[in-house]
Amino acid sequence: MPQNKTPVAVTMGEPAGIGPDIALMAWVARKDLGLPPFYMRADPGLLAHRAHRLGLTVPIQLGEPEDAYKTFSKSLPVVSGTAPVEDRPGDEIATTGQDVISSIEGCVRDVHEGRAIAVLTNPINKANLYEAGFSYPGHTEYLGALAEKLWAFDKPLRPVMMIAGPDLMVVPVTIHIALKDVPVQLTRDLIVETGRIVARDLRERFGLAEPRIAVCGLNPHAGENGTMGTEDRDIIAPAVEILQQEGIDVSGPLPADTLFHARARQTYDCALGMYHDQVLVPAKTLAFDDGVNVTLGLPFVRTSPDHGTAYGLAGTGKAKPDSFVAALRMATVLGNPGAL
């Protein structure tokens, strides 16, 4: 595990969910697991209450991101900036959306200013954020918009969601949209742009010299020559052809039902799915505890546990911090270019 004196910035996430629990648990396990330093942008009172509720001894040290490296071994570094947040684990309707959003924005600003090497986001309740005026489907799109603004890009960024586990990496080409909208929003250009970003980031961030990408079909049997749907033939196959002409090692459209068994997984590095559940189901089935949600296509590194707020477990001590720990390790490795 590479060490760097610049820490990872961790967002508060949904305060009534398990984000605070898993971050506190990870900090407690820092020495046993050899974890790299991180700090949280969150309400210190919330964290203190949750630690008490969980029976964890976690001294909290308020400060700035620059203090985190020195502080981390003895206390959990916290950068405040949110209003006080009541500790109401499991209360799905607690309204804290604005604090959740400002924590994310603060962490991204920290990376932009060189105060953090990466952002690790804790799970959010998307519906709660919509109530607070959040207009993005999830972190992925919001982080793209924040990056465009802070890094002053002159054209829109395309942030790409990847779920990465030890045995499978997947990317959904369309993300948080209704299933009925998938055939409408799935275009050749979207697949091509996504494929380019995946190939580039697997090379540049993950150190794969020639990444192999497998592209799923949309329909059963990848359309069976157009008899079970035409998108595979008319949209996906032409996109694959363009990517191949650009020298990217890409195959497809491939029937998705036979793409995720152990032997098939040996034939590619990353599978591109046409919709969320097509690829997140196999990814989370294989590695729910240690899968990581990592956003490609950004000018900075963002990782996240692959799970959600798990309200039923918040404050009970039953949440597993493993995916948080995997996300922290990945953020540190990817945030240290050249460490691979």
Ligand X SMILES: NCC(=O)COP(=O)(O)O
Residue ranges that bind ligand X, judged by CB under 6 A: 138-140, 161, 280, 293, 304
Residue whose CB is less far from ligand NAI, 215 or 294 = 294
- Binding partner of 140, given ligand X, ligand NAI, none, CB within 5-8 angstroms per partner class: ligand X
Kindly state whether residue 96 participates in binding ligand NAI, applying the rule CB under 6 A: no
Beta carbons within 8 Å of 144's beta carbon, 6+ residues apart: 156, 157, 158, 159, 295, 297, 298
Scan for tokens 């945030």, then name that residue: 335
Q: Can residue 82 be called a binding residue for ligand NAI (CB under 6 A)?
A: no
Question: Using CB under 6 A, which of 319, 325, 330, 331 touches ligand NAI?
Answer: 319
Flag whether 176 is marked binding: yes
Nearer to ligand NAI, 271 or 313 (CB): 313
Which of ligand NAI, ligand X, none does residue 166 bind to, with CB < 5 to 8 Å depending on kind?
Answer: none
Q: Which of 293, 295, 332, 336 binds ligand NAI (CB under 6 A)?
A: 293
State the number of binding residues for ligand NAI (CB under 6 A): 18
Q: What's the min distance (Å) between Cβ of 3 and ligand NAI?
A: 26
For ligand NAI, the closer CB: 72 or 142: 142
Q: Closest CB to ligand NAI belongs to which residue? A: 308
Map residues 19-58 to x or -, x wherever contact with ligand NAI holds by CB under 6 A. ---x------------------------------------
Under the binding rule (CB under 6 A), the answer on residue 310 touching ligand NAI is: yes
179's CB contacts (< 8 A; 6+ apart) are 275
Angle 40-140-103 from CA coordinates, rounded to 5° = 25
Q: Which of ligand NAI, ligand X, none has residue 125 at its interface (CB below 5 to 8 Å by kind)?
A: ligand NAI
DSSP notation for 195-249: HHHHHHHHHHTT--SS-EEEEE-SSGGGGTTTBTBSHIIIIIHHHHHHHHHTT-E
Task: State the amino acid at position 141 in one-letter form.
Answer: E
The response to whether 284 counts as a known ligand-binding position is: yes
DSSP state of 71: H
> Which residues have a Cβ under 8 Å from the Cβ of 51 and sit 6 or more positions away?
24, 57, 58, 60
d(CA 272, CA 162) in angstroms, rounded, equals 9
* 149 appears as a binding residue in the annotation: no
- Sole window of 97-105, 121-129, 209-217, 252-260 interacting with ligand NAI (rule: CB under 6 A): 121-129
Across the chain, where does the E strand assignment appear? 8-11, 38-41, 60-62, 76-79, 118-120, 160-164, 169-172, 212-216, 249-254, 270-273, 292-296, 302-305
- In the list 41, 49, 50, 320, the residue contacting ligand NAI (rule: CB under 6 A) is 320
Rounded to 5°, the CA angle 7-153-248 comes to: 85
The single-letter code of the amino acid at 87 is D
DSSP state for residue 65 in the 8-state scheme: G
Q: Which does 309 bind (CB under 5 to 8 A by kind): ligand X, ligand NAI, none?
A: ligand NAI
Residue 214, contacted partner among ligand NAI, ligand X, none, CB below 5-8 A by kind: none
Spatial separation of the C-alpha atoms in residues 306 and 292, rounded to whole Å: 5
Q: Is 125 annotated as a binding residue?
A: no
Tokens read off for 158 = 């395309």
**Strand pairing class (76-79; 38-41):** parallel
* Partner that binds at residue 313, options ligand NAI, ligand X, none, CB closer than 5 to 8 Å by kind: ligand NAI
Nearer to ligand X, 269 or 306 (CB): 306
Q: Which residues are annotated as a binding site for substrate?
A: 139-140, 284, 293, 302
- Where is the binding site, in residues? 139-140, 176, 221, 276, 284, 293, 302
